[in-house]
C-alpha cells in the first residue's frame, strides 16, 4: 500500500531513522479507521499494573481478560494497542499481525507512597521483537528526583529499539515533590515535558492535556511578556505541539480519568483544533461496556477525521 501524502510528510521528519523504524511508524499511521490521515487513536491499558486490578477492571469485569483489549482496539479501529509485557504475552499469539502493538517497557505500582516516582524496567526490546510489536513504550517523570535515571534508561532502550527497527513512544508525565499538584498539568510544564521527550529521541510523545496554570516563575515571565496565547485548551495544545520541534514530532494527548462521554468528546474537539496528532484513550473506553467503548472511540476518530 502506498502512503498518503500526509504520512510521507510525517515520515520525512524522521530522516535519521532506518527503514525498519520508519516502516513500523508507518504501520501505526496507516492502521485502522484513521489510517493515512496522519492522526492516531491508541488504546493503552497499563492501569492494571499501575493502579491495581479492581480500580482498573471492576467497572467492566470483561477487562480482567487480556484478550478483551485486543478485541476492543480492533472493533473500534484503533491505530495501535499498548500494554505491559504480561498482558501482551497472554494474547499476542491469538491476534498476531492484526493490530500494531506497543510494549510498555517500564511500570510502577501504587503500594509504596512517595512524591518521586521511579518505575522499574519490566520488559525488554527483545520481548517487543518476540511479540511482534511495532514500538516500545516508556514512561518518564520530569520533575522527579529520579528523572536522570529514567532519562538514561530511555536513552539506552531507545537506541537499542531503533537499531532493530522499532519505534519509540514516550509517556512524558511531569511528577515529583518539586512540582505542585496543579503544576503537573501546567501548560509551561507540559510543553517542557514534550520538549524533553523529543530531545530524548521519541517518535511519538504522549502528554496530558495542559491547563492554563503556569508553574515555573521564570517561564511565567516569558509567557506573559511574549503574550503566548494559553486561554483555551486548543491554544495550549497548539503550544505544546509547537514545543515538540515545531510540530515535527507526533504528539498525542491522554484521556485521563473516566468522565462523561460529552466531556471526553468536547476535550477531543479542543485537542483536535489545537493541531494534535490524536489521542490515547484508556479508561474512558475500556471501563465502559464494549459496545459503548467502541462507539465512543469511533466518535473520537470522527472528530480527528473532520
| Structure confidence at residue 128 (pLDDT) | 98
Q: What is the pLDDT of residues 142-201, one digit of tens each?
A: 999 999 999 999 999 999 999 999 999 999 999 998 899 999 999 999 999 999 999 999
- Residue 114: predicted pLDDT: 73
CA distance 74 to 148: 37
Residue 9: inside a domain: no
Q: Which residue ranges in the chain fall short of pLDDT 70?
A: none
Is 206 noted as a catalytic residue in this protein?
A: yes
Distance CA 189, CA 196 (A): 10
Rg of the chain, C-alpha, whole Å: 18
- DSSP type of residue 211: B
How far, in Å, CA of 170 to CA of 251, rounded?
A: 10
Residue 154 lies in a domain: yes
Please report whether residue 168 resides in a domain.
Answer: yes
Evaluate whether residue 4 is within a structural domain.
Answer: no
Which backbone phi and psi does 19 adopt, to 5 degrees? -60, -35
In a domain, residue 60? The reply is yes
Q: What is the dihedral of CA 199, 192, 104, 298, to 10 degrees?
A: -110
175 Cα distance to chain centroid: 16
Question: How many structural domains is the chain composed of?
Answer: 1
Query: What is the chain's length?
Result: 306
Structural domain boundaries, residue 124: 17-106+114-301
The residue annotated as part of the active site, out of 22, 39, 104, 206, is: 206
The pLDDT, as a whole number, for residue 113 is: 77
Please tell me the predicted confidence (pLDDT) of residue 184.
97
Q: What are phi and psi of 250, to 5 degrees?
A: -75, 115
SS3 280: strand
Question: What is the grid cell recorded at 15?
Answer: 530522516
User: How many CB atoms lie under 10 A from the CB of residue 174?
Assistant: 25
Grid coordinates representing 102? 506497543
Contact predicate 30/7, CB 8 Å? yes
3-state secondary structure of 138: strand
In a domain, 121, yes or no: yes
Q: Could you tell me if residue 5 is inside a domain?
A: no
Q: What is the CATH number of the domain that holds 56?
A: 3.20.20.70
> Do residues 283 and 258 make contact, with C-beta atoms less than 8 angstroms apart?
yes
Specify if 10 maps to a domain: no
DSSP state of 105: -
Measure the N-to-C terminal CA separation of the chain; round to a whole number of Å: 23
Amino acid at each position: 500500500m502506498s502512503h498518503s501524502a500526509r504520512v510521507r510528510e510525517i515520515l520525512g521528519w524522521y530522516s535519521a531513522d532506518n527503514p525498519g523504524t520508519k516502516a513500523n511508524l508507518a504501520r501505526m499511521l496507516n492502521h485502522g479507521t484513521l489510517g493515512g490521515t496522519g492522526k492516531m487513536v491508541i488504546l493503552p491499558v497499563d492501569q492494571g499494573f499501575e493502579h491495581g486490578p479492581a480500580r482498573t477492571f471492576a467497572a467492566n469485569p470483561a477487562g480482567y481478560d487480556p484478550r478483551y483489549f485486543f478485541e476492543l482496539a480492533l472493533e473500534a479501529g484503533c491505530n495501535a494497542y499498548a500494554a505491559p509485557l504480561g498482558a501482551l504475552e497472554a494474547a499476542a499469539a491469538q491476534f498476531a499481525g492484526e493490530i500494531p502493538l506497543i510494549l510498555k517497557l517500564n511500570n510502577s505500582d501504587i503500594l509504596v507512597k512517595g512524591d518521586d516516582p521511579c518505575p522499574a524496567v519490566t520488559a525488554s526490546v527483545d520481548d517487543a521483537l518476540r511479540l511482534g510489536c511495532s514500538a516500545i513504550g516508556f514512561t518518564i517523570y520530569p520533575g522527579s528526583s529520579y528523572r536522570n535515571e529514567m532519562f538514561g534508561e530511555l536513552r539506552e532502550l531507545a537506541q537499542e529499539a531503533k537499531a532493530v527497527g522499532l519505534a519509540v513512544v514516550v509517556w512524558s508525565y511531569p511528577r515529583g515533590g518539586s512540582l505542585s499538584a496543579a503544576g503537573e498539568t501546567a501548560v509551561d510544564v507540559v510543553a517542557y515535558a514534550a520538549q524533553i521527550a523529543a530531545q530524548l529521541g521519541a517518535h511519538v510523545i504522549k502528554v496530558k492535556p495542559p491547563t492554563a496554570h503556569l508553574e515555573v516563575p521564570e517561564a511565567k515571565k516569558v509567557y506573559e511578556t511574549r503574550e503566548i496565547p494559553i486561554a483555551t485548551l486548543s491554544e495550549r495544545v497548539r503550544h505544546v505541539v509547537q514545543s515538540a520541534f515545531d510540530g515535527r514530532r507526533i504528539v498525542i494527548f491522554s484521556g485521563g480519568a473516566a468522565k462523561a462521554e460529552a466531556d471526553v468528546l468536547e476535550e477531543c474537539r479542543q485537542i483536535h483544533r489545537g493541531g494534535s496528532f490524536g489521542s490515547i484513550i484508556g479508561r474512558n473506553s475500556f471501563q465502559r461496556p464494549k459496545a459503548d467503548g467502541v462507539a465512543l472511540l469511533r466518535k473520537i476518530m470522527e472528530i480527528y477525521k473532520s
